[in-house]
Structure 1
Amino acid sequence: MLANLIRARFTPLVALAAIIAVVPLVAPSSFHLRVAALVWIFSLAALGLTILMGYAGQVSLGHAGFLGIGAYAVAIGPARFGLDPALCLVVGAVLAGLVAYVVGRPILKLKGYYLAIATLGFGVIVALVLHSESEVTGGPDGMQVARLTFFGWRVSGAWNWYWVTAGALLLGAALALNIAASPTGRALRALHDSEVAAAGTGIDVARKKLAAFVIAAIYAAVAGGLLAAMNGLITPEAASFTHSIELVAMAIIGGLGSVLGTVAGAAFLVVLPQVLTALQEYEQAVLGLLIMVFMIGLPAGIVPSARNWLLERLS
């Protein structure tokens, strides 16, 4: 039992660390390192949905709203208040967590389609505020973002950003795996299967759902802050409904509830559009078709389906 617990906790983390270590060896240019850094950032944001949807079974269609909060905290803090960008990364995570706590208390009483629509409404509100409050956020044109510094070290260049984002992803993955193996993780999985049964065993369902929602928001805010700092520019598009759907798709395509699956889903939706640019006006159509094919052929997700196939061949 203990061996299985240790394996479940550390095997995905070791595999992810190995992937991160190998990518720079095969990446032919700084452009490819930058694309990889984007994969790590969106993987981190989607990991929050892995906890919320994969563990707790709660739907969110406004997750990009929290990504926007974290991104604009890193942009507004230094520009308007002279704060350190690294400090604003933390401030954005705390702010997103507080907003998630306040918003989550009423909307998490809803279930199914009603919960999905409520979270969608939250995301739309955040995007509209970022668009309309031009004096603070720069409006539709967005605003410049100060460079991130850690103890005097200024993060710049594709190589440095690759390792900073990879380190953040590893920390986020370690936390997600620890949550999954903890009593809280088991409680979340119990309410995922049946909230009534979970409540019958003494689990505080409302509290656990709210905790998952807050944790997911913090993941998204940190990812948003890193995205804004790496790009040096942020626009309200970061909090758009389209990005929320993309984050949900990343978690589902890779394998809902799987940490490695989340990374695979993020890689699929970040890298594939770069590959399909040669198709020009057919790019989106082909991307949509491939998503349909993957979901039909691999309904459990990329990583769980691959794992099941391998186990069948070895048995």
Structure 2
Amino acid sequence: MQVLFKTDYDQDINYLVNRGERFRILAAVVLALVAPFVVGAYFLSEISIFLVYILAGLGLMVLIGFTGVVSFGHAAFMGIGAYTNSVLLGYGVPFFVTLPLAALLAGLIGAALGRAASKMHGFYMAIATLAFAIVIETAIGAWEPVTGGHMGLSVPPMSAFGWEVSAGRVQYYIILAIVLFCIWGVANLMRSATGRAFVAVRDSETSARSLGLDIARTRILAFFISASITGLAGGLLAHLTFYLSPESFGVNESLKLLLMVVVGGLGTITGAIFGAVFVSILPNIITLLQGILPQAIAQQAGLDLFLFGAIIAAFIIFEPEGLYGRWRKLRLFLETFPYYKRATFTRQKRYLKTERFR
């Protein structure tokens, strides 16, 4: 078991105190940096998509994991970011301008949604975000002169003043830099007064209000930050898919993002990364199950949605802390063996909050 002896006041505000955690993060960053020189073009594209989903999961984690606001329609913000980035690139705007504008527009729309739904809780908030996603998907499909409607929209390459970034190492490093910057930013945000306000609202709105926090303002700010990060992920994802259609950002994609943060571990940045890993291998798991199950079941429509819902329910009931919580238990077992006690971690349950004020 590792014992930390603090010799400096700065150690109280350092994000990574554990030496093992610092080593693991450094190793992960080094592997990400050398990946383009080790893997081929196909696997590099797959890793890029994986990084984008880490970014999208991080955005949703700010809202659900850190603020406690349930969202069933977060893929709509990915769609807003993807279409905004692609349309502006089509007009010749440099990509280092289109990406921030895509994130800003998604954030402003998210803040408007947060303002409209700031008094809602639990089930009603989930339904409101689901309806918002359906409205956005319908609007994108109907706005044919700009978005191409249901026929789709071809995504221009990243370009600025005649210089184009095609799929490859340069694009990968741009995505990696943005993801690392956002992870660093969210990690520091959650140590600030704003981040602590998010957690206070998540844990108890009654206590947060009694301490003088403006609940509505905190929710609106959480929606803005969450939607901005998710919109940025959508703008990057557009360059990896090369073609956009409204159906790509529908309810299925929202459930995929929700599955990511619940399975990875609510309330942790590492949980978003673990969730992205799980979602990346989930299609292979579904394909394997379809080969095992009887044909009458394997070919049923909606099998993916059924599995998404079953996995979410199973983790909420049996492992609310997600994959990251399971990893913490395993790590503690290895650090304290043979003195580990099963009662060290008491199972916790999560419920939708229903407390409200008029």
* TM-score, length basis structure 1: 0.89
Q: Is the 8 A contact 1:146 1:232 kept in 2?
A: yes
Q: Is the 8 A contact 1:50 1:257 kept in 2?
A: yes
Q: Which has the higher helix share?
A: 1
- Larger displacement relative to structure 2 (53-62 or 6-15): 6-15
Q: Is the 8 A contact 1:47 1:262 kept in 2?
A: yes
Q: Is the 8 A contact 1:272 1:287 kept in 2?
A: no
Could you tell me which runs of 5 or more consecutive residues in structure 2 were left unpaired when the two chains were aligned: 1-8, 337-358
Q: Is the 8 A contact 1:16 1:170 kept in 2?
A: no
**Cα gap change, 1:285/1:143 in structure 2, threshold over 3 Å: closer, same or farther?**
closer
Counterpart of 1:3, as a letter, is Q
Shift of 1:299: 2.9
Q: 2 CA distance for matches of 1:299 and 1:161?
A: 36
Deviations 1:281-314 (A, max 9, x none): 6685699389369726533111122113311332
Match of 1:170 in 2: 180
Deviations 1:139-180 (A, max 9, x none): 112111111136765322343333222211111111110111
- Taking CA–CA contacts closer than 8 Å with sequence separation of 6 or more, which of the two structures ends up with the larger relative contact order? 1
**Cα gap change, 1:167/1:287 in structure 2, threshold over 3 Å: closer, same or farther?**
farther
Could you tell me which runs of 5 or more consecutive residues in structure 1 were left unpaired when the two chains were aligned: none
Q: Is the 8 A contact 2:94 2:161 kept in 1?
A: no
Among 51, 57, 80, the residue aligned to 1:46: 57
**Cα gap change, 1:15/1:126 in structure 2, threshold over 3 Å: closer, same or farther?**
farther
Match of 1:57 in 2: 68
- Number of residue pairs aligned between Structure 1 and Structure 2: 314
Among 83, 104, 120, the residue aligned to 2:114: 104
Asked if 1:197 corresponds to 2:197, the answer is no
Q: Is the 8 A contact 1:68 1:236 kept in 2?
A: yes
Q: Is the 8 A contact 1:250 1:269 kept in 2?
A: yes
Q: Is the 8 A contact 1:130 1:139 kept in 2?
A: yes
**Cα gap change, 1:163/1:272 in structure 2, threshold over 3 Å: closer, same or farther?**
farther
Larger Rg: 2
Among 322, 327, 343, the residue aligned to 1:301: 322
Partner secondary structure for residue 108 of structure 1: coil
Among 239, 249, 253, the residue aligned to 1:243: 253
Deviations 1:58-110 (A, max 9, x none): 1111111111000001121132x332333221211111121122221121211
Counterpart of 1:211, as a letter, is L
Match of 1:229 in 2: 239
Among 28, 36, 56, the residue aligned to 1:19: 28
Match of 1:313 in 2: 334
Asked if 1:122 corresponds to 2:129, the answer is no
**Cα gap change, 1:77/1:170 in structure 2, threshold over 3 Å: closer, same or farther?**
same
Asked if 1:291 corresponds to 2:282, the answer is no
Q: Is the 8 A contact 1:13 1:174 kept in 2?
A: no
